Structures are given as structure tokens and as C-alpha cells.
């Protein structure tokens, strides 16, 4: 690895980190809510639906394998 490659990798990482910081700064007001428990409710429902779908698919596959 040449010295120039190392400098290029560091500058690319710095660009990505700066872009991430800029995006988080833009959404700073939206990340903090008065009721934080409401923020996690849709995420919980998504996991619940995914678990139910996985359970249904397992039953369906077991029925197909039984036939």
C-alpha cells in the first residue's frame, strides 16, 4: 500500500463522517420527542408482524413437507 492510498482512504472516511454528521444535524429536532415510548411502538409492531409471518411460513412449509 502506498502512502497516497492511505491518505485517500482517510479523506474518504472523513467525507462519509461529515455527511453523516450533516444528516443527523438536519434531523436533530425530529429525533427528540416528548413521548419516546410512542417512537418505538411502530418498530415493535414490525417485529411482531415479522415474527408472526415467520411462524406462519414454518407451519406452511411443514405441511408441504408432510404431504
Stated pTM of the model: 0.34
**DSSP helix/strand/coil, 2:** coil
Domain that holds residue 18: 1-32
- The span from the CA of 59 to the CA of 63, in Å, is 6
- Cα–Cα distance list, 12 to 6, 19, 26, 32 (Å): 10, 11, 21, 30
Give residues with Cβ within 8 angstroms of 6, minimum separation 6: none
pLDDT tens digit string along 2-57?
555 555 566 777 777 788 777 777 766 555 556 555 555 555 555 555 566 666 66
Whether residue 38 is found in the same domain as residue 20: no
Give residues with Cβ within 8 angstroms of 39, minimum separation 6: 33
Whether residue 25 is found in the same domain as residue 37: no
Whether residue 37 is found in the same domain as residue 67: yes
Domain count, the chain: 2
Amino acid at each position: 500500500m502506498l502512502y497516497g492510498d492511505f491518505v485517500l482512504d482517510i479523506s474518504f472516511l472523513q467525507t462519509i463522517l461529515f455527511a453523516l454528521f450533516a444528516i443527523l444535524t438536519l434531523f436533530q429536532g425530529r429525533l427528540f420527542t416528548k413521548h419516546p415510548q410512542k417512537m418505538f411502538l411502530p418498530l415493535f409492531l414490525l417485529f411482531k408482524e415479522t415474527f408472526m409471518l415467520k411462524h406462519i411460513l414454518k407451519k406452511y412449509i411443514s405441511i408441504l413437507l408432510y404431504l
